[in-house]
């Protein structure tokens, strides 16, 4: 699949894909944790954050990981042991499965589904199973309540997310993420093709709804009812310690990064630069260097979007459970339905 001079054998391609997938999940997770969770949050609270481990505390994450790996792996006596052990892995694997459809360049993709959007949204909800399972198997009332809250919340916010994406799919005329990127970068605004045609312009409402739903899917702060530390200790994560907690922790921030990747593909033009800049007409004419440049562009967009997610997280207090549900069912879902209707009518009319 790769247009490089040397023909890479199938096992080599597979190895590259696996390594690339690990990099695409863990690299953003580490960067998000250091840059936003450690530093941005600290600065927003007028303190410096970790400063001792490495220059400006940049090695803090390794220190934390080392600490977690040393901790005792505690399994509650009444817990359903095998399922209890499986739960964090389900959550992390769903993240890896999610990054699989994200295109990072003209040829730099893991798989190229024609129904990529459908797959991404379906796999995005698999983590709910992991969370629910973690809550049930812990044999702890806080965990159970946290798991149930998580399930209720994630199901409620899955819907506006799906519906918000439908607007993009209608406009692009494809469910393939690669096609959506191409559609945004070959488009033009009233004949002017200086910035292509990122769907955030016409689908701004959809973008807003999608980002709010992502915030809820990630259980980041205004929507952190499932782990609400002042009510449920730590929700479904209460009983987890050591490296199992670490996996949940990585999963949370890796998923934030991957959802930001998907949002930038759907709304911000993905890996592409406007094709008109270099005189490309279609995907086949895109130069090979975009396989290197594309991931960097994606990384930049991902950092901006996760920055916004974290900024919101550090600014707002938590919703109450009923407010949270009301907001999803009475505000976001009607709005996204209206968005679909308007987009469809305009699409047919033009």
Partner 1 sequence: MPKVPGLVKGLGVTMGTLFRTVKEGADTVQYPHAKEAPPVRARGVIALREDNCTACMLCARSCPDWCIYIEGHKQLAPPRRAGGKPRQVNHLDRFDIDYALCMYCGICVEVCPFDALFWSPEYEYSEPKIADLLHDKTKLGEWMETVPEAPELEAGAEKKK
Q: Which residues bind partner 1 (CB under 8 A)?
A: 40, 42-48, 51, 311-312, 314-316
CB of 39 to partner 1, least distance (A): 10
CB of 4 to partner 1, least distance (A): 43
By C-beta, is 52 or 77 nearer to partner 1? Answer: 52
- Beta-sheet strands, E only, within 199-348: none
Is 277 in contact with 240 (CB distance < 8 Å)?
no
CB of 149 to partner 1, least distance (A): 23
CB of 286 to partner 1, least distance (A): 37
CB of 304 to partner 1, least distance (A): 14
CA distance 28 to 262: 13
Is 319 in contact with 327 (CB distance < 8 Å)?
yes
CA distance 198 to 347: 16
Please tell me whether residue 290 adopts helix, strand or coil conformation: helix
CB of 37 to partner 1, least distance (A): 14
By C-beta, is 44 or 346 nearer to partner 1? Answer: 44
CA 114 to chain centroid: 20
CA distance 144 to 82: 17
CB of 53 to partner 1, least distance (A): 14
By C-beta, is 142 or 327 nearer to partner 1? Answer: 327
Is 126 in contact with 158 (CB distance < 8 Å)?
no
Question: Which residues on adjacent β-strands are paired with residue 176?
Answer: none
CB of 335 to partner 1, least distance (A): 11
| Count helices and strands in the chain by DSSP H and E runs | 14, 0
Is 328 in contact with 159 (CB distance < 8 Å)?
yes
Q: Kindly state the tokens that stand for 256.
A: 């934030």
By C-beta, is 48 or 304 nearer to partner 1? Answer: 48
By C-beta, is 56 or 68 nearer to partner 1? Answer: 56
Q: Kindly state the tokens that stand for 166.
A: 């439908």
By C-beta, is 42 or 125 nearer to partner 1? Answer: 42
Q: What b/e sequence results for 135-155 when a residue is b if at least 16 CB atoms lie within 10 Å of its CB, and e otherwise?
A: bbbbebebbbbbbbbbbbbbe
By C-beta, is 142 or 319 nearer to partner 1? Answer: 319
CA distance 350 to 346: 6
By C-beta, is 58 or 241 nearer to partner 1? Answer: 58
CA distance 120 to 294: 20
> Token match 């490495």: residue?
54
By C-beta, is 243 or 311 nearer to partner 1? Answer: 311
Q: Which backbone phi and psi does 196 adopt, to 5 degrees?
A: 65, -145
DSSP state of 192: B
CB of 307 to partner 1, least distance (A): 11
CA distance 49 to 169: 42
């Amino acid at each position: 699949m790769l247009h490089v001079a040397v023909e890479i054998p199938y096992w080599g391609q597979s190895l590259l894909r696996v390594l690339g997938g690990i990099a695409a999940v863990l690299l953003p997770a580490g960067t998000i944790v250091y840059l936003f969770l450690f530093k941005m949050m600290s600065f927003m609270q007028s303190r410096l954050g970790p400063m001792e481990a490495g220059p400006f505390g940049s090695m803090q994450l390794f220190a934390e990981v080392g600490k977690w790996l040393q901790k005792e792996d505690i399994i509650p006596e009444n817990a359903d042991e095998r399922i209890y052990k499986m739960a964090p892995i389900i959550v992390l694997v769903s993240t890896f499965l999610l990054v699989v459809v994200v295109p990072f360049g003209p040829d730099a993709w893991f798989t190229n589904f024609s129904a990529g959007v459908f797959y991404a949204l379906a796999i995005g909800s698999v983590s709910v199973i992991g969370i629910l399972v973690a809550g049930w198997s812990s044999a702890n009332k806080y965990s159970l309540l946290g798991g149930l809250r998580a399930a209720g919340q994630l199901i409620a916010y899955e819907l506006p997310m799906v519906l918000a994406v439908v607007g993009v799919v209608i406009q692009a005329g494809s469910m393939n993420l690669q096609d959506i990127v191409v559609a945004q970068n070959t488009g033009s605004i009233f004949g002017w093709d200086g910035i292509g045609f990122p769907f955030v312009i016409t689908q701004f409402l959809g973008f807003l709804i999608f980002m709010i739903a992502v915030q809820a899917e990630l259980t980041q702060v205004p929507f952190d009812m499932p782990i609400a530390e002042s009510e449920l200790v730590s929700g479904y994560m209460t009983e987890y310690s050591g490296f199992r907690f670490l996996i949940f922790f990585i999963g949370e921030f890796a998923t934030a990064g991957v959802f930001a990747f998907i949002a930038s593909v759907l709304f911000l033009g993905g890996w592409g630069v406007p094709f008109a800049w270099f005189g490309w007409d279609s995907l086949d004419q895109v130069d090979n260097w975009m396989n290197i440049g594309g991931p960097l562009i994606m990384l930049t967009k991902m950092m901006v979007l996760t920055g916004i997610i974290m900024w919101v997280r550090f600014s707002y207090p938590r919703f109450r459970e009923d407010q949270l549900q009301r907001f999803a069912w009475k505000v976001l879902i009607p709005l996204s339905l209206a968005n679909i209707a308007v987009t469809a009518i305009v699409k047919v009319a033009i």
